[in-house]
Amino acid sequence: MVTGANNRVSGFQRTWNRFRTYITKPQNAILLMLGILLTITTIYPMFTILRDTIRLHPGSIDTQEKALEAQFDALGTKLTTYNWQNLFRDTITTRVGRERVTRSVASIYLWTPLLNSILISIFACFGAILYGGVFAYLVTRTNLKFKKYLSSIFIFPYIMPQWTLAVMWQNLFNSNAITGGNDGLFVTLFGTYMPKWWCEGIFPVSVVLSIHYAPFAYILIGGIFRNMDANLEEAATILNTPRWKTFLRVTLPLVKPAILSTILLVFSSAMGSYPIPHYLKLSTLSTQYVGMSSNRAGQASILATIMMLFGFLILIVNQKTTSGRKNFTTVTGKSGQSSLVDLGAAKYVLSVLFLLLTLFTGILPIVLFAIETFLPNPGDYSFIKHGFAGHTTTKWWLTSENVTENGMYGQKGILYNADIWNAFAGTFFVAICCALAAGTIGTLIGYCVSKNRRSKWASYVNNMAFLPYLMPSLAVGVAFFIFGSGAGIYNTFLLLILAGTVKYIPFASRSALNSMMQLSGEIEEAAIIQDIPWWKRMTRIIIPIQKTSIISGFLLPFMTCLRELTLFMLLCGQGKIITTMLGYFDEMGLYAFSSGINLILIVLILVFNTLVNKLTGASIDSGIGGD
Partner 1 sequence: MARIELSHVTKRWGGFYAVDDLDLIIEDNAFVTLLGPSGCGKTTTLRMIAGLETPTSGRITIDGVTVFDSDQGINIPANKRRVGFLFQNYALWPNMTVYQNISFGLSNIKEAGLSVNENGEIQRNPEAGGAVRKLTKEEIDKIVARVSAIVKIQPFMDRYPGELSGGQQQRVAIARTLAPGPRVLFMDEPLSNLDAKLRLEMRSELQRLHLSTGSTFVYVTHDQMEAMTLATRICLISNGVLQQYDEPLTVYNRPNNTFVADFVGNPAINFMNARGKQQQDGTFRLQILDRYETVFTPGEKVEIGQWFADADKEISAFEAKVRPAEKTNKDLPFRYPVATVSDVPEKTGLDREDFVLGVRPEFVHICEDGPIEGEIFSAMPTGMETTVRIRVGNYLLTGVVFGGVLYKIGQKVHLRFDGPGTVLFSRMNGRLIACGKLDILGK
Q: How many CB atoms lie within 10 A of CB 496?
A: 29
Q: Count residues contacting partner 1 (CB under 8 A)?
A: 33
278 alpha-carbon distance from chain centroid: 16
Regarding 3 and contact with partner 1 (CB under 8 A), the answer is: yes
The answer to whether the beta carbons of residues 87 and 106 sit under 8 Å apart is yes
Tell me which of 529, 535, 614, 615 binds partner 1, using CB under 8 A. 529
Q: Which is nearer to partner 1, 337 or 520 (CB)?
A: 520
Q: Which is nearer to partner 1, 17 or 91 (CB)?
A: 17
Tell me which of 23, 130, 353, 526 binds partner 1, using CB under 8 A. 526
- Backbone angles phi and psi of 341, in degrees to 5: -75, 130
Q: Which is nearer to partner 1, 162 or 443 (CB)?
A: 443
C-alpha 206/C-alpha 542 separation (Å) is 43
Could you tell me which stretch among 121-129, 202-210, 445-453, 541-549 binds partner 1 (CB under 8 A)?
541-549
In 3D space, the residue among 267, 290, 287, 291 whose CA is nearest the CA of residue 277 turns out to be 287
Tell me which of 352, 523, 603, 607 binds partner 1, using CB under 8 A. 523
Tell me which of 18, 51, 245, 453 binds partner 1, using CB under 8 A. 18
Tell me which of 202, 331, 343, 532 binds partner 1, using CB under 8 A. 532
**Shortest distance in whole angstroms from residue 519 CB to partner 1:** 10
Q: Tell me the residue type at 369.
A: F
The answer to whether the beta carbons of residues 61 and 295 sit under 8 Å apart is yes
Regarding 29 and contact with partner 1 (CB under 8 A), the answer is: no
Burial label, 108 (beta-carbon count in 10 A; 0-12, 13-18, 19+): middle
- CA torsion sign for 226, 231, 232, 238 is positive
Could you tell me which stretch among 7-15, 163-171, 213-221, 402-410 binds partner 1 (CB under 8 A)?
7-15
Could you tell me which stretch among 89-97, 151-159, 168-176, 521-529 binds partner 1 (CB under 8 A)?
521-529
In 3D space, the residue among 482, 101, 431, 121 whose CA is nearest the CA of residue 266 turns out to be 121
DSSP state of 360: I
Regarding 25 and contact with partner 1 (CB under 8 A), the answer is: yes
**Shortest distance in whole angstroms from residue 130 CB to partner 1:** 42
Q: Which residues contact 471 (CB under 8 A, 6 or more apart)?
A: 268, 272, 307, 308, 311, 503
Would you give the binding string for partner 1 spanning residues 435-474, x where CB under 8 A is met? -------------------x--------------------
The answer to whether the beta carbons of residues 29 and 444 sit under 8 Å apart is no
427-448 burial string, b = 16+ CB within 10 Å, else e? Answer: bbebbbbbbebbbbbbbbbbbb
Could you tell me which stretch among 20-28, 85-93, 200-208, 225-233 binds partner 1 (CB under 8 A)?
20-28
Regarding 538 and contact with partner 1 (CB under 8 A), the answer is: no
Region 124-183 residues binding partner 1, contact defined as CB under 8 A: none
Q: Which is nearer to partner 1, 428 or 534 (CB)?
A: 534
**Shortest distance in whole angstroms from residue 12 CB to partner 1:** 10
In 3D space, the residue among 279, 375, 301, 420 whose CA is nearest the CA of residue 50 turns out to be 301
Q: Which residues bind partner 1 (CB under 8 A)?
A: 1-3, 7-9, 13-18, 21, 24-25, 454, 520, 522-523, 525-533, 536, 540-541, 544-545
